[in-house]
Amino acid sequence: MKEKIRDISAMSVETKLRYFNILAIMAAIDEEINQLEMMELYRMAARFKLLHKERLTMLEDIGKNHDEIMGLCEGLLEDLNDQERNIVRFSLMKDLIIIMKADYYEAPEEKKLLHTIKVFFKITEEQMDFFFEEYQQDRSFSEEEVIELYDGNKRKERILTATAIGIPIAAIYVIEGVKKNKSSFIQTFTKRLSNMDYLKAIGLGMISYEIVKGLLKHKDNNESRLKQHLMKDSRKLQERAIRYLILDIANLQQKLQEENQEGLEAKYLKEKIVLLEKTLASFHNTKPQLL
C-alpha cells in the first residue's frame, strides 16, 4: 500500500504548533518582534490554515520558548514519514529565511539561529543557496509583473503586425518591379503601390502574422497563466491573513475587557493588540507577495 504523504496544513496540531513556535522564536530572537515579521507569520498561518485556537497559542508563546528550540526541532519530525520529514525540513528553512529578512535587517542572533537549525536538520550549503535564490525570485515577483507581461504582449503584438505586414509589402515592391521592368525595378520602390498590391500584402501579412504569432503564443500563454494563478493565490492568502488578524485582535480585546486584567498581564496584552493592529494596517497598505 502506498504511503500517504501529507502537506504541513494536514499534519497534526502538535506538529504545526512546534513549526510555528520555531518561526516565532526566529521573529523574536533579537528581543523585538515588529509588524513586518508578524505579517510573514500571518501569511504562513494563512497558508497552513492555522486555526483560531492554534494562532492564539502561537501568540501566547511568542518570546517565551527561546531555550526550547532544540526540543522543538526534535519533536517537529515525530510521527512523520521520510517524505514528510523532508517537506517539513525544507519548508521550515525557507520560512525561517523569510522571517529573518522580513524587516530588511538580518540580526546576528537571527543568523546564528538559522545556522543552528540548518546544522540540526543536516541542510547542505547547496540546499541553503537554493533556498536563498528561491527567496529572491519569489520576492521579485509582484502584481506589476503580470501587468508588464500584458503590456509586453501588446507591444509584441504590434511588432508582429508591423513585421508580418511589412515583409509582404517589401516583397511585392520587388516582385512588381521585376515584373514591370526587370532592368529598372529599383526605381519601382519609389512608386506608390496600387490598392490591389496592398490587398495582396495584407493577405500575405495575415498568413505571416498568424504563423509568427503561433510560435510565441504557446510560451506566452503558459507564462501568463502561471503568473496570474500565482497572483490569485497570493491575494487569497493575504485576504485570509487579514481575516485571521481581525478575528484575533477582537479576541484579545475581548479578553482584556472581560478579565479586567491589570499590571504586567494587561500591559502584555495591550502591546500584543497594538502589534497586531500595526500588522493589519501594513497588510492593507501592502500588495500580495509570494511566500
pLDDT digits (tens, 9 = 90+) for 49-71: 999 999 998 888 776 767 789 99
Give the integer Cα–Cα distance in Å for 7 and 115: 25
Strands (E), the chain: none
Percent of the chain with pLDDT over 70: 67
Burial class (CB in 10 A: 0-12, 13-18, 19+), 267: exposed
Burial class (CB in 10 A: 0-12, 13-18, 19+), 254: exposed
Give the integer Cα–Cα distance in Å for 194 and 191: 9
pLDDT confidence tier of residue 128, bands split at 50, 70 and 90: very high
pLDDT confidence tier of residue 171, bands split at 50, 70 and 90: very low
Average pLDDT over residues 34-60: 92
Q: Locate 212 and state its grid cell.
A: 509568427
How far, rounded to the nearest angstrom, does the alpha carbon of residue 193 sit from its chain's CA centroid? 53
Give the integer Cα–Cα distance in Å for 287 and 76: 32
Burial class (CB in 10 A: 0-12, 13-18, 19+), 27: buried
Average pLDDT over residues 152-177: 48
Out of 30-34, 72-76, 118-122, 233-237, least confident range: 30-34
